[in-house]
Structure 1
Amino acid sequence: MAKTANTARSTGSPKSANGTAGVKGPASYFPSIEKKYGRPVAEWKELIRTSPLTRHMELVTWLKTEHGLGHGHANALVAHTLAEAAGK
């Protein structure tokens, strides 16, 4: 009988894969964004807020093309920033 990989995630750990305790959603990417790109998240969010662009995917594409962010990181920053602006 062949063995199969167990793909279930453990829920017993208090830390996520990036080492942040209890942080979920887009913010869970923030430590790796700061480490990889060398700029604080507050700076990225200010760039998003002051951009003339307003649509989610326009902002994601802009961060990817003009600032070299990966799609997941750009998406997390935009999602979090727009949700804050909407009061969510």
Structure 2
Amino acid sequence: MSEKVKGPASYFPSIEKTYGQPIEHWKQVVRAAPGYGSTAKPPTHMDLVALLKEEGLGHGHANAVVAHTLAEDR
């Protein structure tokens, strides 16, 4: 029996189905944000959520993608 996916990744199938793009597309949008990865003044979590919302994602889906991407890149 496979383990159930938990946390932000549990939203990924719905995000892909709803918005027609793979999760990697949305992660790239986050990583391409001005200042991402900078130590001087990186964008905040909510700055990145707002960016994805401007691209058409709903708040919860944007939050899940940002949380997962930030955790991957730590």
TM-score interval (norm. to shorter): 0.7 to 0.9
Tell me the percent identity: 64
User: Take 1:52 and 1:22, find their aligned partners in 2: how far apart are those partners?
Assistant: 35
Q: Which runs of 5+ in 1 are unaligned?
A: 1-13, 16-20
User: Conserved in 1, the CA contact under 8 Å of 2:30 and 2:66?
Assistant: yes
Query: Larger % of helix: which?
Result: 2
Number of the residue aligned with 1:61: 50
Tell me the TM-score normalised to structure 2 length.
0.83
Structure 1 stretches of at least 4 aligned residues deviating more than 4 Å after TM superposition: none
Number of the residue aligned with 1:4: none
> How many pairs are equivalent?
67
- Following superposition of structure 1 onto structure 2, how do residues 68-79 of structure 1 map, counting pairs within 5 Å? 68-79=56-67
- Asked which structure has the greater CA Rg, the reply is 1
Tell me the TM-score normalised to structure 1 length.
0.70
1:68 CA drift (Å):
1.2
Amino acid of the structure 2 residue aligned with 1:34 = E
Greater RCO (CA < 8 Å, at least 6 residues apart): 2
Q: Which runs of 5+ in 2 are unaligned?
A: 36-42
